[in-house]
Amino acid sequence: MSEKPENSLKQEIMRRNRINKIKKGIIYIAAIWMAASVFLSVTLLVRVIHLENTLKEVRANIPTVEQVKNTENQNLPGLNTDGSAGRDTIDIGEPIQQKEIQEEQTNSNEKRKVYLTFDDGPSVNTETILDILDEYQVKATFFVIGKTDEVSQEMYKEIVARGHTLGMHSYTHKYSVIYNSMEAFQQDYRQIHDYLQELTGVDCKYYRFPGGSSNQVSNRDMSEFISYLNSEGVTYYDWNVSSGDATSQAYTADELVGNVIGDVTKYKSSVVLMHDSISKPATVEALSSLIEQLQGMGAEILPIDENTVPIQHVKIDTQEGP
Ligand code: ZN
């Protein structure tokens, strides 16, 4: 009689033990699964943050497809009045390819040379820029594009009359056209060269490629265009210091000054990239302070001339022919 309850008690204890073991097993598995999930989530979060930062950096340097399209669609020659947005384009690929730029250590006894350059003008800002340069008795270089309105025509003449260097930056500033073929490039070059000569009497000898010679837009070998310019007696200039006013980051005037000063200290001779464009008011705002700080450093601010050592991102052998 007493064996039955004893057996059933044993069985009950064994059953409970089994259940407990299963429960413990489930808890262990759940705990391991949760720990693995947390670890995976944290890893993925770190990865996402890292990728977001990388994306931000990339975005800061490369315009979107829409911007490229807008740039190409807007730049129709002769259609713009002074300073209209159509001409005020982002220079695709203009961010400096740092690796290609040789850093020079500045000899402390030698005077630093700084060449301020303004691309994409004339614009509504040109006259203000000219006035500020006059105020400090500083000469600069304007790499201009083709604009046919009266105010722009006046500005080309003013740039020359006030002693600055007039350089070419293509007529259309339309990447898809000028970099499409050698014929198209030559036609655009002649158009801006002859237009400026007719207006100002200056036979321009300096050229800046839209987007720079290291632009990522041209499908053609840039050295073909460089050879052509050289055959015309024209020297092209890139830059080794960028104000950053063409990037998608909306730098304040103070930040633009900081960008330039920070890099100018690295070189004996700096060619500084800035923009003369309605969409770059901070550049105008920065100019006085920039000049004052450069002069405070003892730098010599000069216009590009035949003695200026070119800064070129793409080098070619120019020793061909007599
Ligand atoms: Zn440009």
DSSP letter string over 111-124? PPEEEEEEES---T
Q: Would you say residue 90 has pLDDT above 60?
A: no
Average pLDDT score over residue span 148-158: 98
Torsion of CA 88, 262, 57, 218, to 10 degrees: 50
Q: pLDDT for 194-247, tens place per residue?
A: 999 999 999 999 999 999 999 999 989 999 999 999 999 999 999 999 999 998
Q: Ligand 1 centroid to 211 CA: how many Å?
A: 6
Q: Which of 76-80, 178-182, 262-266 has the lowest mean pLDDT?
A: 76-80
- C-alpha–C-alpha distance, residues 183 and 260, integer Å: 37
Q: Which residue has the higher pLDDT, 287 or 219?
A: 287
Task: Kindly state the tokens that stand for 75.
Answer: 């730049």
Q: Ligand 1 centroid to 55 CA: how many Å?
A: 24
Q: Ligand 1 centroid to 294 CA: how many Å?
A: 24
Q: Would you say residue 263 has pLDDT above 50?
A: yes
Q: Ligand 1 centroid to 162 CA: how many Å?
A: 22
Q: Ligand 1 centroid to 206 CA: how many Å?
A: 14
pLDDT at 318: 52
Q: Ligand 1 centroid to 2 CA: how many Å?
A: 103
Q: What is the mean pLDDT of the chain?
A: 83
Q: Ligand 1 centroid to 151 CA: how many Å?
A: 20
Within 10 A of 216 (CB to CB), how many other CB atoms are there?
13
- C-alpha–C-alpha distance, residues 208 and 220, integer Å: 17
Q: Ligand 1 centroid to 305 CA: how many Å?
A: 20
Q: Ligand 1 centroid to 121 CA: how many Å?
A: 9
172 close to 75: Cβ distance less than 8 angstroms:
yes
Confidence band of 113 (pLDDT split at 50, 70, 90): very high
Q: Which of 53-62, 118-127, 148-157, 259-268 has the lowest mean pLDDT?
A: 53-62
Buried b (16+ CB within 10 A) or exposed e, 278-297: bbbebbbbbbeebbebbeee
Rounded alpha-carbon distances, angstroms, from residue 139 to 118, 207, 273: 12, 17, 15
Confidence band of 135 (pLDDT split at 50, 70, 90): very high
Q: Ligand 1 centroid to 146 CA: how many Å?
A: 12
Q: Ligand 1 centroid to 311 CA: how many Å?
A: 16
Percent share of the chain, pLDDT over 90: 61
Q: Which residue has the higher pLDDT, 305 or 47?
A: 305
pLDDT at 7: 78
pLDDT at 245: 96
- C-alpha–C-alpha distance, residues 102 and 249, integer Å: 25
Tell me the DSSP string of 78-109.
Answer: T---TT-GGG----TT-S--GGGSPP-PPPTT
pLDDT at 19: 84
122 close to 192: Cβ distance less than 8 angstroms:
no
How many C-alpha atoms does 178 have within 13 Å on its Cβ side? 29
294 close to 302: Cβ distance less than 8 angstroms:
no
Q: Ligand 1 centroid to 48 CA: how many Å?
A: 34
- C-alpha–C-alpha distance, residues 183 and 165, integer Å: 27
Q: Ligand 1 centroid to 15 CA: how many Å?
A: 83
Q: Would you say residue 102 has pLDDT above 80?
A: no
Q: Ligand 1 centroid to 130 CA: how many Å?
A: 19
Q: Ligand 1 centroid to 289 CA: how many Å?
A: 24
Q: Which residue has the higher pLDDT, 262 or 49?
A: 262
Q: Which residue has the higher pLDDT, 230 or 57?
A: 230
313 close to 213: Cβ distance less than 8 angstroms:
yes
Q: Ligand 1 centroid to 89 CA: how many Å?
A: 7
pLDDT at 5: 67
pLDDT at 165: 98
pLDDT at 98: 42
Q: pLDDT for 177-192, tens place per residue?
A: 999 999 999 999 999 9
Q: Would you say residue 277 has pLDDT above 80?
A: yes
- C-alpha–C-alpha distance, residues 88 and 215, integer Å: 17
Q: Ligand 1 centroid to 219 CA: how many Å?
A: 18
Rounded alpha-carbon distances, angstroms, from residue 227 to 33, 100, 198, 205, 319: 65, 19, 25, 14, 10
Within 10 A of 125 (CB to CB), how many other CB atoms are there?
24
Rounded alpha-carbon distances, angstroms, from residue 35 to 28, 30, 45, 170, 218: 10, 9, 15, 61, 52
Q: What is the CA radius of gyration of the chain?
A: 31
Q: Would you say residue 320 has pLDDT above 60?
A: no
